[in-house]
Amino acid sequence: MTAAPAHAVVGQPVNDSFAFTAKLDIAGERSCSAALIAPQWLATAASCFTDNPGQSPKLPEGAGKAVTAIIGRPDLTHDAGTTANVIELVPREDRDLVLAKLDKTVTNITPANLPANTLLEGQDVWVSGYGRTKDEWVPDKLHYAKFTTNALKTTTVGLTAKTDGAAICQGDTGGPAFRDVGGRFELIGVNSRSWQGGCQGTDAKETRTNAINARTDDITTWIQSVTAPPQPLRGKDWKKATNLVPGYFTGGSPGNNRRMDLFVTWEDGTASLFQGADSKNPQNPFTAEHKLPGKSWFYAKSVAAGNFTGSGTDGLVVRWKTGQVTSFAHVDQNGFSKEEELKPASAWWADNVMEMTVGRYTGNAQRDDLLIRWKDGSFALHTDIGANGLKREVQLMKANSAATSIVQMTSGEFTGKETADLLVRWKNGSASIYRGVSATKPFEDELKVRPETSAWRFTQGLAAGAFVDNTRPDDVLVRWEDGNLSLYPTVDASGTHAEVELLK
């Protein structure tokens, strides 16, 4: 009564909708199937990688055997999809399941989803695989069939064929079982064992077509913890961050997949560049940290980013402790280029400039206008600094005692005006957006977006950028006094909305 390892579905050939199904070649010794569950991860059966698949499925964590995966190629005679190598295996100890990491990110195939709800007996599911059929030893097309769940246990679920003549055969160990929830394919298990009735090479006396799958529906948290993209924000002491500066440094532009990066200077004078993500997940806005060369950032008092050259990537403008102001035309993961002096060292600029921010405050489309808040509460705007340096200054506000209660400010585009908005945080914890700031309309339209005594009285830094949808810089990154980080996606005229805790 012992079932053999399962290895492919006798059913209908080819379905592009199930392109997340992968074919595995394991050291040229055997073939299995798998499911793409994240851009760089497959779920499959641990028994695929053991020396004797009919024995214990347990295997050590690591790279394992040489494995090649073909993903997104329902017809193997074509060249569609992606071919990748497996570089890491992370087994689940309590069931015949392993997560396999690929050596490249799969970008052209939608992964199978993890279930929103746990499995029930009697549910219809699809099973897909590349293995043996009733009349083919090595088919070149993906096959699929419908099954029904039964015998639901802690780590396994039984499957009974619902499609006439369907069975799970050799070649499909690790292949996915998934349910269709309104067009959303949810992985509920991977093929582990079957009796293979009707499969080519099976004794004709064997007529059983039922199978056993290793469940995945009940361990979504574990799967996510393994497959989640790296969290480059973690492991840093954010209380020691001195400047948070959003910009398009490593690639990307408004409307493209790549989100804004974050340039950070630290108390010890080093600098980091956190690369923006390609996904819209607000919990993972960055994918990697690039440590930039040099240790001179200890002397940087204020840093802002903008597009000063029209080249498509951003640069920096920096006010140093001496009052000198310089600009870098280009910044990326390799460092800085083309530094130019905009203003020589000046005691006045060293002592009296409180903050700088760059935004789109004139009629052109570039973020290249420098807004300065002075110690006496006055504001000045230097327009088109890429072309003009600091030679074209417009006073937006004269000395104002009320404005001296501003603690932090950042430029963003929250309200859809022709020019950028200015977000400010006051000493009492409240926050305001000044809509559409420009040389002709400075600070005329104030919107209160945080009340007095709000939690924002504990912020140590604000940075507005395009960290989620990437249509415009309307997401606000907050650094708190305790070193934690939060993101407020899609801030607009009605407020800051939900908080996403990036570090807590």
DSSP string, 230-257: P-TTTTS-GGGEEEEEEE--SS--TTSS
Among 350, 346, 422, 417, CA closest to 379: 422
The ranges of the chain with pLDDT < 50 are 1-8, 10-11, 54, 56, 60
Q: Rounded to a whole number, what is the largest CA-CA distance in the chain?
A: 95
State if pTM tops 0.75: no
- For 104-128, the pLDDT digits (tens) are 989 888 899 999 888 999 999 999 9
- Give the per-residue pLDDT at 134: 65
Rounded CA separation 110/105 (Å): 12
Report whether 493 contacts 433 (CB < 8 A). yes
* 241 contacts 266 by C-beta, under 8 angstroms: yes
Helix (H) or strand (E) holding 349: helix 347-352
Kindly report the CA angle at 193 between 189 and 194, in degrees rounded to 5?
110
Q: Report the C-alpha gap between 448 and 434 in whole angstroms.
A: 9
Three-class SS of 94-148? CCCEEEEEECCCCCCCCCCECCCCCCCCCCEEEEEECCCCCCCCCCCECEEEEEE
pLDDT, residue 133, reads: 65
Distance of CA 133 to the CA centre of its chain: 39
Give the Cα separation of 218 and 301 in Å (integer).
51
- Residue 327 zone, left/alpha/beta (φ > 0; ψ -120 to 50; rest): beta
Q: Which residues neighbour 427 within 8 Å (Cβ) at sequence distance 6 or greater?
A: 405, 406, 407, 457
Q: Which residues are registered as beta bridge partners of 357?
A: 371
pLDDT for 358 equals 98
